[in-house]
Amino acid sequence: MKHNGKWLNPGYVGTSLLAMSAVLLPLGFLLLVVLLPMWTMLLQADVESFRLVWQDDFMRRLFGWTTLQAGISSVLTLLLGVPVAWAITRLQFRGREWVLRLLMLPFVMPTLVAAMGILALFGAQGLLWRGWDETPYLLLYGNVFFNLPVMVRAAYQGLCQVPATRLYAAQTLGAGVWRRFIQVEWPQMMPWLAGAICLVFLYCFSGFGLALLLGGEQYGTLEVQIYQLIAYELDMAQAGVLVLLALAVTLIAGLLYAWLSKRTMQKAMVQMLPPQKPTTSQKVGLLLALLLLFLCCALPILAVGWRAVLAGSSWQVVLDEETWQALVNTLRFTLLAMVVALVLGFCHAALAHRLTWVRSITFLPFMVSPVCISFGLLLCYPDYTASLSMLIVTYALLAYPFITKDVLSAWDSLPPQYAQVARTLGANGWQVLLFVTLPLLRPALQRGLALAAATCVGEFAATLFLSRPEWQTLTTLIYRYLGIAGRDNYDRAMVLTLVLMLMATLIFSLLEWCTARKEKTLC
């Protein structure tokens, strides 16, 4: 083959085509699995449907409540997360490294685990309080449970970027702890906190599982209404209007988060202030911070375990053939989805590392809820309805951004001299990738896989809409038991929730903690 009058090696041409196909794979995937289904979904709406929806008082209140609960949850996580992050960042205490490692466990818990834990505490048969079923507090508590670790982690990363020299200089000039925080630490944390607020708002606005189980009829959200309109009323026109409203809000929040994430890219190593031995007053604050983490993040998880212990004979559900089939399906779907997500996540990171505009669409799957994606796929590809490929593709779509995010962040921080030295020694592009870049990216890849795998294990919305009855997973089996009246069915659901929680924790721990051994801190 000739190019510019010169003969090209066919092997080189084939390798180049393969590399180009690999990097363009995530763009084609997003086009086919996100953009086309969303466009098909939006075509269901028309001007008349939009007018009818907007003139409906119920729909306006529904949109207002969905936005309000997301806003309240964002503010709550900010007010609670910043003091907690400061305490575990600046103060030295026994078990600090364990707190940092366990911080993301609530975030990787399946939505059903969180919902069941909160119901075990404050539901109709609650251990602490009863009668909170028809209040908005359960949903807000669930949002804080999931998103407080996100805010704490973001504030922690922001504090890690405050140079110790600035704090020492402020202290030398007579600034106390509070003044140093306001004038030195807070401005440095702002980009991280702003991005975390956008992400928390996005999660709360487009969340489905918590709103379905904890919101009830009175405090459901747009996602629940979209599901009911399509699954029970087959009203595609009104559902399309609600999808349009949801997409408009989540697109703004998602793009703002993508823009802010660029500002928080670590460009240079910073010598952070080491944790200090707390004073007497700081010990009280540290105790309150740890207590807050326990009440918001650990208590619902412990409630699931306690309720399952009290289940008695309902533990026989573990021996049922139906349970084992659901467990096998959960693991099978997760494994297949992780293979796809691993390829997509790495290819997207490789492309985003070179092209800035590709970086901005990394979080596109986060901007669209699983409800909208699932029904958009059904409308766009009717021939693949109830097919295993559609289910696995949806799982992978919801999981691979976690891999992309961690790999891209690590790739950006790699010194370019490593690749340059390898090329000087005669290595080609593929050899540099396989023997230099990949080993250095392995810890970040494992962290991304941990979050992605936990997400697949607990996926509820896509499984509820796209799977066949024989493809029942642990999440849909739990939801089925909750829909059947009777104390035994409720206890069976709690037992299965404990199994699901332990499985998600085990998968996350195997992938995350083996990486954490190699890193003394998370900065």
Name the DSSP letter for residue 35: I
CA dist 190 and 261 (Å) reads 12
Distances 400 to 4, 30, 438 between C-alpha atoms, Å = 39, 11, 17
Task: Supply the mean pLDDT for the chain.
Answer: 81
Closest CA to 86 of 147, 162, 145, 195: 162
Domains 56-301 and 309-523 share a fold: yes
User: How far is it, in rounded angstroms, from Cα 253 to Cα 202?
Assistant: 6
Determine how many CB atoms are found less than 10 A away from the CB of residue 208: 24
Rounded average pLDDT over 436-441: 77
Full-model pTM: 0.82
How far apart are alpha carbons 34 and 41 in whole angstroms? 11
Q: Does 514 score more than 60 pLDDT?
A: no
- Interval 383-387 mean pLDDT: 80
Residue type for position 373: I
Distance CA 320, CA 324 (A): 7
Quickly count: other Cβ atoms within 10 Å of residue 502's Cβ.
13
CA distance 460 to 308: 21
Tally of CB atoms within 10 A around 236: 18
Of the pLDDT bands very low, low, confident and very high (cuts 50, 70, 90), residue 5 is very low
Q: Calculate what percentage of the chain has a pLDDT beyond 70.
A: 88
| Token pair belonging to 343 | 């390829």
First to last CA, the chain: 50
pLDDT in tens, 155-172: 988 888 888 888 888 888
> Per-domain residue ranges for the chain?
56-301, 309-523
State the pLDDT at residue 14: 41
- CA-based max dimension of the chain: 81
Token duo for residue 51: 């007018």
390 neighbors 37 (Cβ within 8 angstroms): no
Let me know if 180 is exposed, middle or buried by CB neighbors in 10 A (0-12, 13-18, 19+). Answer: buried
Q: Is 3 helix (H, G, I), strand (E, B) or coil?
A: strand
| Three-state SS at 163 | strand
Task: Tell me the average pLDDT across 377-399.
Answer: 87
User: 186: which 2 tokens?
Assistant: 């807070």
pLDDT of residue 217: 78
Say yes or no: domain 309-523 is CATH 1.10.3720.10. Answer: yes
Query: Taken in order 450, 453, 458, 459, is the CA torsion positive or negative?
Result: positive
Q: With bands split at pLDDT 50, 70 and 90, how would you rate the model's confidence at 1?
A: very low
Interatomic CA distance for residues 450 and 107, integer angstroms? 12
For residue 512, which of 353, 404, 406, 365 has the smallest C-alpha distance? 406
Selecting from 3.40.50.720, 3.10.580.10, 1.10.3720.10, 3.50.50.60, what CATH number does the domain 56-301 have?
A: 1.10.3720.10
* Residues in Cβ contact with 240 at an 8 Å cutoff, skipping those fewer than 6 apart: 41, 42, 43, 44, 45, 49
